[in-house]
Amino acid sequence: MPEFSALLTALIVPLNLCVALVVTGAVVALVRWRRTGLLLAAVGVAWMLAWSLPATSLWLGGALEQRYPYLPAPEMPRADAIVVLGGNTANNRANWFEPYDRHTAAARIDRAAELFDAGRAPLVVLSGGALEGTVSEAQGMAHSLRQMGVPESALVLENASRNTYENAALTQDALARRGIGSVLLVTSALHMPRAMAAFGKQGVTAIAAPGRPQIVPPPDRRLAVWLPDYRTLDASRSIIKEYAGLLVYWLRGWV
């Protein structure tokens, strides 16, 4: 059964909700209530247009990203371990509003490797189960970190979690078994508020170590923040997912 937060996110993704409300509005208008139908259709179109504006992402996404400021690895405090959560945001693009560029893309494991190389912690705990197939996200991240020079002896894998709540609960078990106290928590800046709340609920002493913010104006300053943009509309689902996730986690007592 799909997670309720995932279902909620799918329902309110701008394009999905727009289509649903326009179709529902058309049916309602044809059956009897013309004004109600037109209102439903207008709300759907307005929802989609609002999320197609870069200004909306900069405001609502930026509010989440700025909760925990980014610091270079050498400036981060030391901890007993680095915890890395599986997943990516906007395909790890350096900037939300620009096309994907593999030369500038930065994955969460890149941040973990920087922290490890800077001597911020002696262990790296990788959390993430297999969303498809048999290879877990933790195993995939471990493979990449080995290629970056992180020794096998420094890696601890949590292979069963499927969401942020399970990341926190199962990682807490792994930390307790090893007597690990404080951790540097690595995830995207957008995901960090929910991750920190979930880990805090589990009693983990976590220090936020987010990746660089992605929802920022491009360096060339040519972004028209009040004009609809398809790339912005497509990526907005990540912001919506975080707000929906925070709501559902709060209702379930997970944060």
What's the CATH number where 168 sits? 3.40.50.620
* 13 and 40 fall within a common domain: yes
- Helix (H) or strand (E) segment spanning residue 75: none
| Residues 108, 82 within the same domain | yes
Residues 104 and 35 in one domain: no
Answer whether residue 2 shows pLDDT above 50.
Answer: no
Confidence of residue 87 (pLDDT cuts 50, 70, 90): confident
In a domain, 219, yes or no: no
Examine residue 213 and state whether it is found in any structural domain, yes or no: no
Quick one: pLDDT at residue 110?
Answer: 94
129 and 197 in a single domain? The answer is yes
Q: What is the mean predicted confidence (pLDDT) over 88-102?
A: 81
How sure is the predictor about 4, in pLDDT bands with cuts at 50, 70 and 90? low
pLDDT digits (tens, 9 = 90+) for 201-252: 999 999 999 999 999 988 877 788 999 998 899 889 899 989 989 999 999 9
Is 50 within a domain? yes
Tell me what the pLDDT averaged over the chain comes to.
Answer: 91
User: For residue 3, what pLDDT is reported?
Assistant: 59
pLDDT at 1 over 50: no
Residue 104: the pLDDT is 82
Any long-range contacts for 235-239 (C-beta under 8 Å, 24+ apart)? 235/57, 235/90, 235/96, 236/14, 236/51, 236/52, 236/56, 236/57, 236/61, 237/9, 237/13, 237/14, 238/61, 238/89, 238/90, 238/190, 239/57, 239/60, 239/61, 239/64, 239/190, 239/215
**Domain, as residue range, for 198:** 70-208
Residue 98's pLDDT band, with cuts at 50, 70 and 90, is confident
What is the predicted pLDDT for the residue at 166? 95
Is the per-residue pLDDT at 39 higher than 60? yes
Domains identified in the chain, total number = 2
On whether residue 100 sits in a domain, the answer given is yes
Say which residues have a Cβ less than 8 Å from residue 215's Cβ, sequence separation at least 6: 57, 58, 61, 62, 65, 96, 189, 190, 239
Residue 96 sits in the same domain as residue 191: yes
37 and 95 share one domain: no
Instruction: Report the run of H or E that residue 81 belongs to, with start and end.
Output: strand 81-85
Distance CA 113, CA 109 (A): 6
Of 25-34, 45-54, 226-235, where does the model show the most confidence? 45-54
Identify whether residues 78 and 180 lie together within a single domain: yes
